Amino acid sequence: MSDFKVPTTDMKFALHSVLDYHTHCASLPCADDVTRDVVEAILEEAAKFAENELAPLNAVGDAEGCTLQDGVVTTPQGFKQAYQRFVEAGWPSMCHRSEYGGQGLPESLGTLLSEMSGTANWAWAMYPGLSHGAMRTLDLHGTEDQKNTYLKKLVSGDWTGTMCLTESHCGTDLGMLRTKAEPRGDGSYTISGTKIFISAGEHDLAENIVHIVLARLPGAPPGTKGISLFIVPKFLTDASGEVGERNGVNCGAIEHKMGIHGNATCVLNFDGATGYLVGQENRGLNCMFTFMNAARIGTAIQGLAHAELGYQKSLAYAKERLQMRSLSGDKNPEGPADPIIVHPDVRRMLLTQKAFAEGGRMLLYYCAMLMDTEEHASDKDEKAEAETLLALLTPIAKAFLTEVGFESANLGLQCFGGHGYINEWGVEQNVRDARIAMLYEGTTGIQALDLLGRKVLMTQGESLKRFTKIIHKFCEAHDAAEFAEFVEPLAAINREWGDITLHVGMAALNDPEEVGAASVDYLMYSGYVTLAYFWCRAAVASRGDDIETGLADSKIKTARFYFQRILPRTRALVDTIKSGAGNLMAHELSEF
């Protein structure tokens, strides 16, 4: 079996050949010196770290897990040393502003780093990953004092961060949260309550942890309109800004999980802890959405990571494992049987994983480039366009890629047969680790309601039209005969996307339950169409003069597989969307 290898060839193809990343960087004031050579140097060094430092710890973290003793969490063997080397190499600071110690590079480069480290070892990657969202939140909503005190240490990697939302009685429905914040009169607050499912909530990797916490002030309005946001550090700071006395926040337990054992998922007790308000009172959820949206893209990366890892493991196994003979004649006449990769059903599974991993990579890099534009573009219209497109594509990327990432992880296990069900190969770990991604940052159902209800219907379809117009123009520009097998079905389903949206919108005028009834199928439909667009772009890009022949042929063949074997799933989704809410809502409660 081969070890994990960063798919640098495909990453470069997606960046340079499909998405014209160099031109994108040249348009950004923070990245006009980010040449192709710079990007590939970063890729090379990050790949070494992922392959040599993180991948060997993936099975270790799964086997050992984290331990809690006397309130202290110890991470698996090697995790702390890997994090120290991560910090020493300057990786945490890469995509943050120079005034707070960052290197000022675009966010999209951080996406590449997250993909590589996450595919190598998702449980480890969550520790710096949660810090990233905390940094973005403080950068946008914190005061200058807060940025100087906390952001600089987070950017350097000396400290890490978390997001503390969920409580035992409220998961997605944050309007029900009970954690309290009492003003002390000196600008600080007393924070009391318990949060659960806090990833990286306590650990031994860094000297301090900065918790970003949702809580409710006295007399605050009920529901989500009465939530405020607070910084609650594990250790308070002294006059020089260094670690001081322990704050009143402690780990009460580590959750015993199905997967990602190497990451400490904690119950955190806030016992009169000192906190500091971020942003305005009762506007905390608005600020937290900065964190949550970044985390949703991060979770989409998790879907890609598990698809890629599953593909790499099952591909290597399928080339080596001998079972049965090819129906069209022996392919390994000197051996007792043929390698299973010759069998059509194994190829179906491998190509499904490949199509989702490589297609998902293009989608995520496109989203990352939109994040760059939204943050750095000088033209207001360009920023607004990027914001609208990103708002539409974020729930698609998060929910669709985690769903198909889990499917791909399962297909990887299936390729191994019975060997996949035992832990020595690592494919059953990949399945267990992948399962949480469909729950993180809002379940698939929540993302689907956000997409169909908020992003599409509440804008009268305008946000969707922005994207379908891009697809339409692409199809018009590439109507040559050599691309017809991809462009023509893409153009047709792009029109249908608008038609099916109108159908649901009209049905919802008579019964609002139609939105919830259609939402998940609508999101999956949207995901398949979106990936069809990127596979069409890949097919066109593969005809470029600088594309190696073997890579070009592989892209065309994988695009053909996607259009002929995966995209037809939308036919069933159209039927289920149009079937309406009646078949879901007809039962009385007593009939269940």
Q: How far, in Å, CA of 257 to CA of 265, rounded?
A: 8
Q: How far, in Å, CA of 477 to CA of 479, rounded?
A: 6
Confidence at residue 1, expressed as pLDDT on a 0 to 100 scale: 42
**Regarding beta strands 180-183 and 189-199, do their DSSP bridges make them parallel or antiparallel, or are they unpaired?**
antiparallel
Confidence at residue 150, expressed as pLDDT on a 0 to 100 scale: 96
Kindly tell me if the per-residue pLDDT of 490 is higher than 80: yes
Q: Which two tokens stand for residue 185?
A: 């009169």
Kindly tell me if the per-residue pLDDT of 2 is higher than 70: no
Average pLDDT, stretch 529-537?
98
User: What digits encode the pLDDT tens for the residues 227-269?
Assistant: 999 999 999 999 888 999 999 999 999 999 999 999 999 999 9
Average pLDDT, stretch 488-512?
97
Q: How far, in Å, CA of 259 to CA of 440, rounded?
A: 13
Q: Which two tokens stand for residue 540?
A: 């066109």
Q: How far, in Å, CA of 470 to CA of 386, rounded?
A: 12
Average pLDDT, stretch 22-30?
92
Confidence at residue 187, expressed as pLDDT on a 0 to 100 scale: 95
Q: What is the H or E stretch that residue 22 is in?
A: helix 21-26
Average pLDDT, stretch 463-492?
97
Banded pLDDT at 289 (limits 50, 70, 90): confident
Kindly tell me if the per-residue pLDDT of 41 is higher than 50: yes
Provide the 10 A C-beta neighbour count for residue 344.
Answer: 9
Confidence at residue 44, expressed as pLDDT on a 0 to 100 scale: 97
**Regarding beta strands 235-237 and 228-233, do their DSSP bridges make them parallel or antiparallel, or are they unpaired?**
unpaired
Q: Which of the two residues, 545 and 277, has the higher pLDDT score?
A: 277
55-64 and 427-435 helices cross at what angle (nearest 10)?
A: 70
Confidence at residue 291, expressed as pLDDT on a 0 to 100 scale: 67
Structural domain spans, the chain: 451-585
> 159 - beta bridge partners?
208
Q: Please indicate whether residue 441 is annotated as part of the active site.
A: yes
What is the total residue count of the chain? Answer: 592
Q: How far, in Å, CA of 379 to CA of 390, rounded?
A: 17
Say which range, 243-252, 284-293, 533-542, has the weakest mean pLDDT: 284-293
Strand, helix or coil for residue 479: coil
The whole model's pTM is what? 0.97
User: What digits encode the pLDDT tens for the residues 61-87?
Assistant: 999 999 999 989 999 999 999 999 999
Average pLDDT, stretch 511-518?
97
User: What digits encode the pLDDT tens for the residues 553-570?
Assistant: 999 999 999 999 999 999
Q: What is the H or E stretch that residue 253 is in?
A: strand 249-254
Average pLDDT, stretch 407-436?
97
Q: What is the H or E stretch that residue 265 is in?
A: strand 265-278
**Gyration radius of the chain over CA positions:** 24
Q: How far apart are the first and last CA of the chain?
A: 48
Q: How far, in Å, CA of 209 to CA of 39, rounded?
A: 31
Which one is catalytic: 107, 115, 375, 441?
441
Q: How far, in Å, CA of 227 to CA of 283, rounded?
A: 6
> 577 - beta bridge partners?
none
Kindly tell me if the per-residue pLDDT of 348 is higher than 90: yes
